[in-house]
Amino acid sequence: MTAPSKPAGRIFSGAQPSGNMHLGNYLGAFRNWARLQDDYEALYCVVDMHAITVWQDPQDLQAQIREAAAAYMASGVDPERSILYNQSKVAGHAELAWIFNCVSRLGWLNRMTQFKDKVGKNREKASVGLYIYPNLMAADILLYKATHVPVGADQKQHLELTRDIAQKFNNDYGEDIFPLTEPVIQAEGARIMSLRDGSKKMSKSDPSEMTRINLNDDADTLANKIRKARTDAEPLPGTADKLDERPEAANLVGIYAALMDVSRDAVCAEFEGKGFGDFKKALTEVVVTKLSPITEEMARLQNDPAYIDQVLKDGAERASALAEPVLAEVKRAVGYL
């Protein structure tokens, strides 16, 4: 395949280095990043500034940043074709975020469901950084005038806010500086749920390891987690619409479909009438087959931290070169001397 002469646009995406990279990150994000990098100019960022909106032990953070970079690369992100770096190395993210703090409105941030879900009843104790997290995310994307952002479904609201900020900035300053960025959310795999509770998303921060398939789990751990995953007593139906009231069953079928790159209907047609005992065996085989090369590659990369550090350093230099003219344009528009 020859590379197209002109990319279809510019992609920016990122994930937080808060440990426990999981199957949801892979199916909702990393795998699609790798697939899109041929057609787009792409920046993939380890968002370490977002990570510290909740406490991160400094002793662990460096290893977690390298783990995230290794997970991107093991999932197929090529640091030569794409730009791979960590956010804190490019000061423009913080500079543009400050300007956006002055464009974005309290009323907009008050509607962010992820903040509400994360703080629960402890709002008064949440960091201010966690509250303005979406403004920094808008800065990440718009610092490069990215046109497309591939993410899981949970980030849709943050991307709508990014468009609102771009639009208000353009209006307020009377210049068409920022594009209205489009989310890229896949049909399958955009919302992988907890293995123990089909109403909660699979998450890095869930205290129970049994809820999550980690990218560094070995085959025995994967088999055990899938065996113990919650399901119901009914066999698989012939079509996926019959899974609507069965969230745990729907999630396992969805994982199988996403990993095999087929629809949920196709999975239902294949396993119609079979019980979850049989289905979980087939699912374990697929998960182990698809994830073990990634697990091995992550471990190999993490054994060579100097290589990862070099990749991040090169990436930060290339990202800075793209950010610089945009930041200059913004500072001029704002009226800075």
Shortest CB 93 distance to ligand TRP, Å: 9
161 binds, among ligand AMP, ligand TRP, none (CB under 5 to 8 A by kind): none
Contact between 18 and ligand TRP (CB under 6 A)?
Answer: no
Contact between 50 and ligand TRP (CB under 6 A)?
Answer: yes
Shortest CB 257 distance to ligand TRP, Å: 22
Contact between 149 and ligand TRP (CB under 6 A)?
Answer: yes
Q: Which of 9, 10, 11, 28 binds ligand AMP (CB under 6 A)?
A: 28
Q: Which of 14, 19, 24, 189 binds ligand TRP (CB under 6 A)?
A: 14
201 is catalytic: yes
Specify whether the CB–CB gap between 295 and 75 falls below 8 A.
no
- The gap between the terminal CA atoms of the chain, to the nearest Å, is 48
Shortest CB 135 distance to ligand AMP, Å: 17
Shortest CB 204 distance to ligand AMP, Å: 5
Report 1-20 residues binding ligand AMP (CB under 6 A). Answer: 15-16
Shortest CB 334 distance to ligand AMP, Å: 30
Scanning 38-46, 190-198, 234-242, 273-281 for contacts with ligand AMP by CB under 6 A, the matching segment is 190-198
Contact between 141 and ligand AMP (CB under 6 A)?
Answer: no
Find the DSSP H helices in the chain: 23-25, 31-36, 48-51, 58-74, 92-101, 106-110, 113-119, 128-131, 133-142, 156-173, 219-228, 247-260, 264-271, 276-302, 305-334
Contact between 41 and ligand TRP (CB under 6 A)?
Answer: no
Q: Which of 75, 86, 155, 284 binds ligand AMP (CB under 6 A)?
A: 155
Distances in Å between the Cα of 291 and the Cα atoms of 41, 110, 152, 212, 302 are: 27, 38, 19, 14, 16
Cα dihedral: 65, 94, 117, 198 (round 10): -40
Beta bridge partners of 214: 22
Shortest CB 148 distance to ligand AMP, Å: 13
225 is catalytic: no
Look up residue 193 and give its two tokens: 């749920």
Scanning 6-14, 220-228, 250-258, 285-293 for contacts with ligand TRP by CB under 6 A, the matching segment is 6-14
Shortest CB 88 distance to ligand TRP, Å: 12
202 binds, among ligand AMP, ligand TRP, none (CB under 5 to 8 A by kind): ligand AMP
Contact between 204 and ligand AMP (CB under 6 A)?
Answer: yes
How far is 177 from 297, CA to CA, in rounded Å?
40
204 binds, among ligand TRP, ligand AMP, none (CB under 5 to 8 A by kind): ligand AMP
Look up residue 43 and give its two tokens: 């920046």
Contact between 201 and ligand AMP (CB under 6 A)?
Answer: yes
How far is 258 from 187, CA to CA, in rounded Å?
9
Strand-by-strand arrangement of the 182-184 sheet: 83-86, 41-46, 10-15, 148-150, 182-184
| Non-local CB neighbours of 216 within 8 Å, separated by 6+ positions | 21, 295, 298, 299
Residue closer to ligand AMP by CB (options 141, 327) is: 141
How far is 34 from 20, CA to CA, in rounded Å?
20
How distant is the alpha carbon of residue 172 from its chain centre?
31
How far is 137 from 169, CA to CA, in rounded Å?
15
How far is 82 from 77, CA to CA, in rounded Å?
7
Active-site residue set: 118, 201, 204
Residues found near ligand AMP in the complex (CB under 6 A): 15-16, 24-25, 27-29, 151-152, 154-155, 190-192, 201-202, 204
Residues found near ligand TRP in the complex (CB under 6 A): 12-16, 47, 50, 137, 140-141, 149, 151, 155, 158
